[in-house]
Amino acid sequence: MMAQQTFCEISMSLDGYVAGPNADLDDPLGVGGEALHEWVISLEAWRKEHGHEGGEQNASTPVLNAALERTGAHLMGRRMFSGGEGPWADDAKANGWWGDEPPFHKPVFVVTHHGREPLTLGDTTFTFVTDGVESALDQAAEAARDKDVMISGGAAVAQQALAAGRVDDLLIHVAPLFLGGGVRLFENLGSTRPGLELTGAVDAPGVTHLTYRVVTER
């Protein structure tokens, strides 16, 4: 049995952005940011996770299925969860973006500065962690049991995990577009410059899936 791993899975523009400029509650992915995810929204596998019927299968299907199958718990930042920053009482999306039936179906750990009790919606329980990314990763690893931990976003959480040497693999879905501004994935790494080994490349409609192993010594 392989040792448990932590991997980051995220869509990115060709010029390195995971969200466009001027993101807000009405447009959480920023100007043009929704186009990063067009490749996945039509997939049968994605639609099933979100409670929808239909959809297509293409070269992206086994990539997405493999990522979902290996995942036992998710990690995300406060902004990915709700778009908010301050106290939860002031958060217009305090229960997240996904309604009463979130698409995760596994434990989710949210890194935040503002504590609250765990929130269960459908078959997903969100746990809010206030003592940093590494603590959240430790809790997610325990919850994932014999599966892996997926860092689902956003960029700040991924950067903190990389800087801490806690990421084993990167699964980057590169959309063929330029956003020209917004939130870059690979910033704020400090002196950390992880070594990377390309382990997979899949060309699919509207996207190229790149998988890298982080080879920097821990």
Give yes or no for residue 217 having a pLDDT over 60.
no
Give yes or no for residue 204 having a pLDDT over 70.
yes
Percent of the chain with pLDDT over 70: 98
Non-local CB neighbours of 9 within 8 Å, separated by 6+ positions: 67, 150, 151, 152, 171, 173
What are the beta bridge partners of residue 127? 109
pLDDT for 51 equals 86
Q: Which amino acid is at 110?
A: V
Non-local CB neighbours of 130 within 8 Å, separated by 6+ positions: 112, 113, 114, 115
Average pLDDT value for the chain: 93
For 119-148, what is each residue's pLDDT tens digit? 999 999 999 999 999 999 999 999 999 999
pLDDT for 1 equals 61
Give yes or no for residue 155 having a pLDDT over 80.
yes
Give yes or no for residue 197 having a pLDDT over 80.
yes
Query: What is residue 109's three-state secondary structure?
Result: strand
Q: State the Cα–Cα distance between residues 201 and 50, nearest whole angstrom.
A: 26
Q: Which helix (DSSP H) or strand (DSSP E) does residue 41 occupy? A: helix 38-41
pLDDT for 218 equals 42
Q: State the Cα–Cα distance between residues 214 and 148, nearest whole angstrom.
A: 15
pTM (2 decimals)? 0.94
Average pLDDT over residues 103-124: 97
Average pLDDT over residues 59-75: 97
